[in-house]
Amino acid sequence: MTRKGDLPVKTCATCGRPFVWRRKWARVWDEVRHCSDRCRSRKTGLKPSGGKT
């Protein structure tokens, strides 16, 4: 059994947050660039400003 701390980690191309390997990404891990569907739909590559102005 693999511990969660031993799983590979990547940084999201949109928000810049780290995310860990998931079993559903096992076959496409090299192609995964975004941590969630929300970040994938944005695809800007820029970090959000953090609030309304």
The string of DSSP codes covering 28-40 is TTTT---SSHHHH
- The C-alpha R_g of the chain, in whole angstroms, comes to 13
Q: Is residue 35 part of a domain?
A: yes
Note the pLDDT of residue 46. 57
Give CA–CA dist 34/25, Å, rounded. Answer: 11
User: Does 11 reside within a domain?
Assistant: yes
Q: Is position 25 within any domain?
A: yes
Query: Whole domain around residue 31: which residue ranges?
Result: 4-42
Q: How many domains is the chain partitioned into structurally?
A: 1
Residue 50 placed within a domain: no
Q: Would you state the pLDDT for residue 48?
A: 57
pTM of the predicted model as reported, rounded to 2 decimal places: 0.68
Question: 3-50 pLDDT, tens per residue?
Answer: 888 899 999 999 999 999 999 999 999 999 999 999 999 876 555 555
User: Residue 10 domain-assigned?
Assistant: yes
Establish if 14 belongs to a structural domain: yes
